[in-house]
């Protein structure tokens, strides 16, 4: 089992930055993919970004490419999402995920509780 706890969400003005983080505990010895999804009110959950254990491969949704950067510190069992040039449409609950099932863009075995990100115009 893997437990994921997000932090670092909040309220920011458009054009600003945030850096939520996600700490993993439990079975942290496995080299699983970790990433982020988000869900805005009234919308379906969508993939945001993911990183392999080594950080050698990273994946991004087209809507956040060039604005968001995923990184991980395996010594701390933590993954980060540096978000820049934020837009009101980035407003959502952001969920940390670990250990993909099949495609890294679709589903994961472990999910955090989520952290709210609100971008005001």
Tens digit of each residue's pLDDT (9 = 90 or more) over 53-68: 988 999 999 999 999 9
Cβ partners under 8 Å of residue 9, min gap 6: 18, 20, 94, 115, 116, 117
CA 77-79-84 angle, 5° bins: 160
pLDDT for residue 9 is more than 80: yes
Q: How far apart are CA 110 and CA 121, in angstroms?
A: 33
Q: What is the mean pLDDT of residues 5-33?
A: 93
Lowest mean pLDDT among 14-18, 43-47, 87-91, 100-104: 100-104
Token look-up 């993919």 returns 33
List the beta bridge partners of residue 112: none
Can you read off the two tokens belonging to residue 78?
Answer: 């933590």
| pLDDT score recorded for residue 101 | 93
pLDDT for residue 93 is more than 80: yes
pLDDT for residue 50 is more than 80: yes
Token look-up 């993939």 returns 47
| pLDDT score recorded for residue 104 | 92
User: Strand, helix or coil at 44?
Assistant: coil
Cβ partners under 8 Å of residue 44, min gap 6: none
């Amino acid at each position: 089992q893997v437990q994921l706890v997000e932090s670092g969400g909040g309220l920011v003005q458009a054009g600003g930055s945030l850096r939520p983080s996600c700490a993993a505990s439990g079975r942290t010895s496995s080299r699983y993919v970790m990433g982020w999804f988000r869900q805005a009110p009234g919308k379906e959950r969508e993939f945001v970004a993911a990183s392999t254990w080594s950080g050698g491969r990273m994946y991004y949704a087209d809507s956040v490419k060039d604005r968001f950067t995923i990184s991980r510190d395996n010594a701390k069992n933590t993954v980060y999402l540096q978000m820049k040039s934020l837009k009101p449409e980035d407003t959502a609950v952001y969920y940390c995920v670990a250990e993909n099932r099949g495609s890294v863009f679709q589903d994961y075995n472990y999910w955090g509780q989520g952290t709210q990100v609100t971008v005001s115009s």
